[in-house]
Amino acid sequence: MNQPVKAVVIVGGGTAGWLTAGIIAARHQARMKAGGFSVTLVESPDIRIIGVGEGTWPTMRSSLEKMGVSETELFRQCDAAFKQGGRFAGWTTGEPDDAYYHPLMAPQGFSVLNLVPHWLKERGGRSFCDFVTPQGQLCDEGLAPKTIVNAEYRGLANYAYHLDAGKFAPFLARHCAARLGVRHVLADVIAVNQGENGDITSLRTAQAGELSGDLFIDCSGFSALLLGETLGVGFKDLSDILFCDTALATQVPYDTSDAPMASQTLSTAQEAGWIWDIALPSRRGIGYVYSSRHSSEEAARETLARYVGERHKELPVRKIPIRSGHRQTFWKGNCVAVGLAAGFLEPLESSAIVLVELSAKLLAEQMPACREVMDLIARRFNEVTHYRWGRIVDFLKLHYVLTRRTDTAFWRDNVDPATVPQRLQELLTLWQYQSPWFFDEFDRLEEVFPAASYQYVLYGMGFRTEVSLEDTAQSAPLASRLLREKDQVTQQMLARLPKNRELLQSIREHGLQPV
């Protein structure tokens, strides 16, 4: 039990495996260079990664910077682009003018004053997003979040990335092996060996023999080779809450090489789900996420074809099953699952990759010194990770339960209280009388979706909270100052920032200044 944890073995590559390897290796570089710690990633030379997910959260900037990744090379090698949030069309009423933004910038002065009551009191023509932040207008104008003189990972507006997942994983692999000392083993795992206490002791591979380790990280995808198949940890199905269980994905070329690029993810509601539309420099990634209980595959393919247009209806389409849910526990014995091996939810709001980042970061920071303390750390890891999955489910369901659409069974079924988590029902009751804010019920550090995100969705979809005229009167001078500052910043950004494609071309040609 006092055996020190010196050898970490990751099973599976892809974005999950290589992000996890990079985050852990970067955090423990001193130990690795001294020879007291190692990170090995073993992946099959034949298994193709899913490679569809193209959206990230702003946390990715911090993760990559700490790993020593060049942001310039990320743009150059991964067909990457800027993401400043999401635009949701058709989710509330389905009418032509039904759309709102969930931007990545917090409302102006968010930690100082809650501007929601002041927006509700105004009842003007401005959307909540435009009332509290410049970012919706930046997206409307197709602007980038920074200029070429801003250093790598720095910006005038908060941002994340859209990227080609098929290029991102090999990019991370090259960096982790060359710069961070991660050992890369191309081999098929044919047996998992366990000790008397049930711990995994080693992996037997077809091409590289036996690989021993002290801590094993399962990034083997949906198969969950270690945590699921070997250790028998069950799966918690959440399809009774989140109905979408299939995706049809395609890649659509631009009509011209200089076509404008959106700097936000587009999510457009359909009869039985929604369509994502993500702009990369070379193409658009488009996919229809739908419920097979509410639509046939033939009808779903027709919906996707209508969206992409007559010119592109013959493009190849990949069908991807979605099993919404997660493992009953995430860390058992000396094995922890990250990525698809831990679970998956529909790709609304790009939660999959950020969960990988947060799990890997928690692992890196809480790396057990020896087997004796591993179960204690595992218990804490499981508690935090269960909380995060639950809050993501709440947030995704929020987009559906606020709808006023009744045109199809999919939307009618989504507002059935039996499909809404109890905690979300309680919060919706609370939010009738007080809006979510900075010091609110969100009681964990590094929330995947903080209170600001809930504000943008709630008030973007027409939710109303009762406000006290006395409270708004008392804080009116501060609110006026914050809103004036927001208007000034908006005008400065609109005048200064380049178009999204224009900046991406400059980065590819000239590069960004290293930090």
**What's the pLDDT at 313?**
79
Amino acid at 240: D
Using pLDDT thresholds of 50, 70 and 90, give the confidence band for residue 471: confident
List of domains in the chain: 7-54+164-236+327-391 (3.50.50.60), 245-321 (3.30.70)
**What's the pLDDT at 442?**
53
236 is catalytic: no
What Å distances lie between residue 141 and 87, 99, 459, 474, 500, CA to CA?
13, 16, 22, 36, 9
- The answer to pTM > 0.85 is yes
DSSP label at 415? T
Average the pLDDT over each of 178-187, 242-251, 308-317, 438-447 and give the range with the smallest value: 438-447
Give the three-state DSSP class for 156.
coil
**What's the pLDDT at 439?**
62
CB atoms inside a 10 Å sphere around CB 314? 9
Joined together, the tokens standing for residue 254 give 């631009």
Joined together, the tokens standing for residue 463 give 């939710």
Q: Averaged over 395-408, what is the pLDDT?
A: 98
Does the pLDDT at position 95 exceed 70? Answer: yes
Tens-place pLDDT, residues 130-178: 999 999 999 999 999 999 999 999 999 999 999 999 999 999 999 999 9
The residue assigned the tokens 């790709």 is 347
C-beta contacts of 266-269 below 8 A and 24+ residues apart: 266/86, 266/87, 266/89, 267/86, 267/87, 267/88, 267/89, 267/91, 267/348, 268/89, 268/90, 268/307, 269/88, 269/89, 269/90, 269/91, 269/94, 269/405
The active-site residue, picked from 83, 332, 361, 486, is: 83
Give the three-state DSSP class for 197.
coil
Q: Averaged over 447-467, what is the pLDDT?
A: 93
CB atoms inside a 10 Å sphere around CB 498? 16
**What's the pLDDT at 49?**
65
Does the pLDDT at position 445 exceed 60? Answer: no
Distance CA 143, CA 136 (A): 10
**What's the pLDDT at 316?**
94
**What's the pLDDT at 52?**
58
Does the pLDDT at position 424 exceed 90? Answer: yes
Tens-place pLDDT, residues 351-365: 889 999 999 999 999
Tens-place pLDDT, residues 153-164: 999 999 999 999
Distance CA 454, CA 424 (A): 11
What DSSP string runs through 267-311?
EEEETTEEEEEEE-SSEEEEEEEE-TTT--HHHHHHHHHHHH-GG
Does the pLDDT at position 315 exceed 80? Answer: yes
Tens-place pLDDT, residues 1-60: 688 999 999 999 999 999 999 999 999 999 999 999 999 999 999 877 655 558 999 999
Q: Averaged over 242-271, what is the pLDDT?
A: 96
Does the pLDDT at position 441 exceed 80? Answer: no
Q: Averaged over 458-479, what is the pLDDT?
A: 90
Using pLDDT thresholds of 50, 70 and 90, give the confidence band for residue 310: confident
Distance CA 194, CA 232 (A): 13
- Across the chain, mean pLDDT equals 94
What Å distances lie between residue 351 and 212, 355, 388, 429, CA to CA?
32, 6, 10, 25
